[in-house]
Amino acid sequence: MSIINTFENLDVAKIDTGRKDRTGFPEVVFCPQKEDEYLLKIYKKLYETQGHVFGTRANSHQAQIVKKDFPQAEYDEVSKVLQILPAKKTELIGNIAVCTAGTADIPVAEECVKTIEYFGSKAFRFYDVGVSGIHRLFSQMNEINKANVVVAIAGMEGALASVLGGLVKVPVIAVPTSVGYGASFGGLSALLTMVNSCANGISVVNIDNGYGAGYISTQINRLAEKKDMFCS
């Protein structure tokens, strides 16, 4: 397949209309720092070409702008996801466990969950199961062990990923968050802990990158379920 002309030039953006064919995932929108006019133009073109749109890190003002033209658009204040779902939904597949160390990590986790569901997989939430009360994690392990892949989201020292890496048979996607006091350095402490983990089977995404974790966990889930398509 030629990829030379698989985009549409809007001047302010080049919409990657061939991305789903190349990668199995359609293009999404990173909303911050986009002018209102630009954002709306991008949403309109993506909706026109694919019938659905997924945007991350949107604010409430951007949600209002998009909803004026697309009343069916959905905005979630926690995850900051602004999406227009397809008119016809397909059944979600597989099992992805999304775990947080604390309640403060939930916004990143919800961005991850929304991403997983938009791309057609099932996400199961296991929130506030961090190491400061590790019995809470142990009480959920029977369910977590049913997953095809586990996402471990933690701030502070980021130990949850290492603990899970030593308990499950499947890949663990670690997400450091910017939650913590001064010496956590905005998530750098958790990032370094996760990168240096002695547990096997752990991969690490960037600080607060719930979207990235949702994307790669969906890839793994599709492989486990032997599904290779965009399911939404």
Read off the CATH number of the domain in which 121 is found: 3.40.50.1970
**What phi, psi does 70 have (nearest 5°)?**
-130, 85
pLDDT at 5: 67
Inside any domain, residue 78: yes
pLDDT tens string 23-56 = 888 889 999 999 999 999 999 999 998 889 999 9
> Stretch 150-175: mean pLDDT, rounded?
96
- pLDDT number for residue 206: 97
Number of H-type helices and E-type strands within the chain: 9, 11
pLDDT at 38 (0 to 100): 93
For all residues of the chain together, what is the average pLDDT? Answer: 92
3-state secondary structure of 147: coil
Regarding whether 200 and 157 lie in a shared domain, the answer is yes
Kindly state whether residue 73 falls inside one of the protein's structural domains.
Answer: yes
Predicted confidence (pLDDT) at residue 142 exceeds the cutoff of 80: yes
Judged against a pLDDT cut of 60, whether residue 231 lies above it is answered with no
- Are residues 114 and 217 located together in one domain of the fold? yes
Whether 164 maps to a domain, the answer reads: yes
- Residue 1 falls within a domain, yes or no? no
Partners of 123 in the β-ladder: 96
Q: Residues 99, 74: one domain? A: no
- Average pLDDT, integer, range 53-68: 95
* 97, 64: one domain: no
Same domain, 165 and 141: yes
Q: Is the residue at 232 inside a domain?
A: no
**pTM listed for this prediction:** 0.90
Render 148-203 in DSSP notation, one character per residue.
SEEEEEE-TT-THHHHHHTT-SS-EEEEE-S-S-GGGGGGHHHHHHHHT--SSSEE
CA dist 89 and 108 (Å) reads 24
Are 122 and 204 contained in the same domain? yes
Least confident span in 7-11, 167-171, 202-206: 7-11
Q: Are residues 137 and 210 part of one domain?
A: yes
Please say if the pLDDT value at position 2 is more than 90: no
CA-wise closest residue to 100 among 163, 141, 151: 151
pLDDT-based confidence at residue 170 (cuts at 50, 70, 90): very high
Host domain of residue 47: 8-84
